[in-house]
A and B are shown apart, each in its own frame.
Chain A
Amino acid sequence: MDFLGFLITQCLNALSQASVLLFLACGLTLIFGIMRIINFAHGAIFMLGAYVGHTIVVLTGQFWLALIAAPLVVAGIGALFEMFLLSRLYARRDGGAYLMITFGLAIVLSEAVRLIWGAQPKGIDLPEVLTGVVFLLDQPFPIYRLFLIGLGVSASIALWQFLERTRTGLLIRAVSQNPEMVHALGTDIRIVRTGVFALGCGLAAFGGILATPLFGAYLAMGNNVVVDAFVIVIIGGMGSFLGSVIGSIMVGFVQVFGAYYFPSMALSLLYLLMLTVLIVRPGGLLGKEE
């Protein structure tokens, strides 16, 4: 087999894997960075995005519509959760409480999904443009995976520009630095918090739909992927956007190449990578130690 071709396809596979993880991890790190909340429900939100997307495709036959509408629906659910439940905990200043209430949410969401959609895995049909393969150095490669890579790259740039360059982005970052000050300057931080939580959930849901054409929507998908997202965010440094991008790429490569070269060790490799990073830099690659 042509080794160069093989290497390129594997790298592209890793990058497309990283793209899906990126959306998940960015949502997680955003919520943590701004609100100091570890959202354990993030995997369940990812799954919810996949199922809602599936339903929209079934009802309308529109993949593109699902890609936009499903994250909006899930972001709305996230906003409601933040407004009515999460916000009651802010005065308590207890990081553990967030972890636990979002764990509770994870259980409730997974069960709700099971009751609504049943235990059978669901798929999403792709529009014709995205099906099929292209040949790279005589190796076939799915167009959809290329699409994922493009989406991942453009979304990272867009998010980064949003946080760095826009007024809203500035405001969001200011809330993470000093919420009291932002509040004193006349901005309602409640809206910022609700917005950030909704945005984080929307990003996860987006990742969920993108993953469905590859692996299908199934009940354990949230449980399986939430730990990957944690690994990424911890490696990159909790709350660091750039760290999540780097972490996603690292995890994508470890998963794809690990599965090929050390199939029995693929899972352990991920956690070994995380522990090594944490032991050397307890705050993660680009994070600050608390």
Chain B
Amino acid sequence: MRARGLFILVIAAAAAAGFGMPHLLPGYLVNILTEALIFGLFAMSLDLMIGYTRLESFGHAAAYGLGAYASALLLLSFDIPMLIVIPMAAIITGVVAMPIAWVCTRSTGISFAMLTLAFAQLFYASVYQFKDFSGGSDGIAGIARRAGPFGIDFFQTKIGYFYLVLIILILSFLFCRSLVASPFGQVLAGIRENEVKTRTLGYNTRAYRMVIVVLAYAFGGLAGALYAPLAGFASPELFFWRMSGMVLIMVIIGGRGTLVGPILGGAVFLFLEHELSALPMVRELWPLIFGSIFIAVILFAPQGLWGLFRSWREKRRIGVVSKPQSDAPHAAS
């Protein structure tokens, strides 16, 4: 594979930086970095749907919120170690996503986007409705990172938690990378490019779409499950459509269909936002700047920043000037 060299480099750099960094930084910065990695994981999970299958979800906050509330409630209600709660919360999110996937994949395109949005908003509203259970608008506070099993308590510390998130992110990335290159991933690419044709080739495309929705929710839930013990609370805002919109933006700016792009997009965005909030002048203007950058990326670099970088690198490798992009519609329209 062509990208292998660079890929190993990126992973190695990320790991080296990751494993050295927390010891050099003040504590609050470690937390911000951790949250940035979690957001990167969240964006990557959405990329499975948007970039690899062209299922434009506008309700991915549902996955994040479900994961966060599941891990919060499990940690507060039962005496289960955090290391077990986190994968459990991801699995719960995936299970809850099954009926959602069944309903949403009846439609495609805009209807699909609207159905995912409807489910996310329904969860948002339910948090307010079942106050005793969910804490209503106050959310759930006082979530602690519980030690164990076997008395492992390293991951309770800020730095330990950072490592935990980093390891989970790298493993998830490796899994997703293998997934998109697998036979299953090839069928997803077929669905993305031309679903009717893929179906006539003999694939039950709706079943494939359902599976990828459930997997994307499970990984989104994993990100949410990591967020709750970090922040110490879970709030209804995690389900709100702005959250869905934000993560969608991260995927697009980073570069859909690249996995790496959304991870970097999500992480860098969150990090910048935190850092720039410290500067009063910039804080005022930041959302405006950020919105404008987003519009510019959609207009001028629809393949996203990582996609832009990748095609630039390919061009250099081949050593030819690429043809101007043709505006003609695809042959299969």
Q: Which residues of A contact B (CB under 8 A)?
A: 36, 38, 40, 85, 88-89, 91-97, 99-101, 103-105, 107-108, 110-112, 115, 223, 227, 230-231, 234, 238, 264-265, 267-268, 270-272, 274-275, 278-279, 282-283, 289-290
> B117, A230: Cβ atoms under 8 Å?
yes
> B128, A278: Cβ atoms under 8 Å?
no
Contacts of B291 in A (CB 8 A): 104-105, 107-108, 111
Given the contacts A111-B288, A223-B242, A279-B103, A268 and B294 also touching, CB distance less than 8 Å: no
Q: Is B16 positioned at the interface, with any CB of A under 8 Å from its CB?
A: no
Q: Is B199 positioned at the interface, with any CB of A under 8 Å from its CB?
A: no
- Of residues 106 through 163 on chain B, the ones whose CB sits less than 8 Å from some CB of chain A are 106-111, 113-115, 117-119, 121-122, 124-126, 128-129, 131
- A38's nearest neighbour on chain B, judged by CB, is B110
Which has the most chain B C-beta neighbours within 10 Å: A85, A93, A108, A231?
A: A108
**In whole Å, how far is B206's beta carbon from the nearest beta carbon of chain A?**
13
- B126's nearest neighbour on chain A, judged by CB, is A268
**In whole Å, how far is B327's beta carbon from the nearest beta carbon of chain A?**
5
Contacts of A274 in B (CB 8 A): 118
Contact pick for B284, options A89, A115, A270, A272, CB 8 Å: A115
> B118, A271: Cβ atoms under 8 Å?
yes
Given the contacts A96-B50, A278-B118, A283 and B111 also touching, CB distance less than 8 Å: yes
A246–B31 Cα distance when bound, in Å, is 49
Contacts of B292 in A (CB 8 A): 104, 108
Contacts of A270 in B (CB 8 A): 125
> A267, B333: Cβ atoms under 8 Å?
no
Contacts of A103 in B (CB 8 A): 245, 248-249, 294
CB<8 Å pairs between A and B, sample of 11: A89-B299, A93-B329, A95-B109, A96-B113, A103-B249, A104-B294, A107-B291, A107-B294, A267-B129, A274-B118, A275-B115
Q: Is B241 positioned at the interface, with any CB of A under 8 Å from its CB?
A: yes
Q: Is B35 positioned at the interface, with any CB of A under 8 Å from its CB?
A: no
Main secondary structure of the interface of B (DSSP, over half): helix
Q: A99-B56, A264-B129, A282-B106 are in contact. List 10 more A-B contacts (CB 8 A).
A: A38-B110, A40-B245, A99-B58, A104-B249, A105-B295, A264-B131, A271-B122, A275-B122, A290-B110, A290-B111
A125–B287 Cα distance when bound, in Å, is 31
> B288, A108: Cβ atoms under 8 Å?
yes
Between A and B, how many residue pairs show CB distances below 8 Å? 121
Q: Is B298 positioned at the interface, with any CB of A under 8 Å from its CB?
A: yes
A36–B242 Cα distance when bound, in Å, is 22
A93–B110 Cα distance when bound, in Å, is 13
> B113, A99: Cβ atoms under 8 Å?
yes
**In whole Å, how far is A261's beta carbon from the nearest beta carbon of chain B?**
14
> A97, B302: Cβ atoms under 8 Å?
yes
> B121, A227: Cβ atoms under 8 Å?
yes
> B110, A264: Cβ atoms under 8 Å?
no
Interface size range on B against A: 35 or more
Contacts of B115 in A (CB 8 A): 275, 278
Contacts of B249 in A (CB 8 A): 100, 103-104
Which has the most chain B C-beta neighbours within 10 Å: A111, A272, A289?
A: A111
A271–B121 Cα distance when bound, in Å, is 7
**In whole Å, how far is B248's beta carbon from the nearest beta carbon of chain A?**
7
Q: Is B290 positioned at the interface, with any CB of A under 8 Å from its CB?
A: yes
Contacts of B54 in A (CB 8 A): 96
A249–B24 Cα distance when bound, in Å, is 60
A36–B129 Cα distance when bound, in Å, is 35
- Of residues 236 through 273 on chain B, the ones whose CB sits less than 8 Å from some CB of chain A are 241-242, 245, 248-249, 252
- B119's nearest neighbour on chain A, judged by CB, is A275
Given the contacts A227-B121, A264-B129, A270-B125, A101 and B299 also touching, CB distance less than 8 Å: yes
A115–B291 Cα distance when bound, in Å, is 14
> B290, A107: Cβ atoms under 8 Å?
yes
Contacts of B125 in A (CB 8 A): 267-268, 270-271
A112–B287 Cα distance when bound, in Å, is 9
- B245's nearest neighbour on chain A, judged by CB, is A103
Which has the most chain A C-beta neighbours within 10 Å: B115, B131, B333?
A: B115
A96–B302 Cα distance when bound, in Å, is 11
A88–B302 Cα distance when bound, in Å, is 12
A264–B58 Cα distance when bound, in Å, is 25
- B329's nearest neighbour on chain A, judged by CB, is A93
> B129, A265: Cβ atoms under 8 Å?
yes
A33–B97 Cα distance when bound, in Å, is 31
Which has the most chain B C-beta neighbours within 10 Å: A100, A105, A267, A270?
A: A100
Given the contacts A270-B125, A271-B122, A282-B111, A96 and B288 also touching, CB distance less than 8 Å: no
Contacts of A99 in B (CB 8 A): 56, 58, 110, 113
A289–B284 Cα distance when bound, in Å, is 44
A223–B237 Cα distance when bound, in Å, is 12
> B129, A268: Cβ atoms under 8 Å?
yes
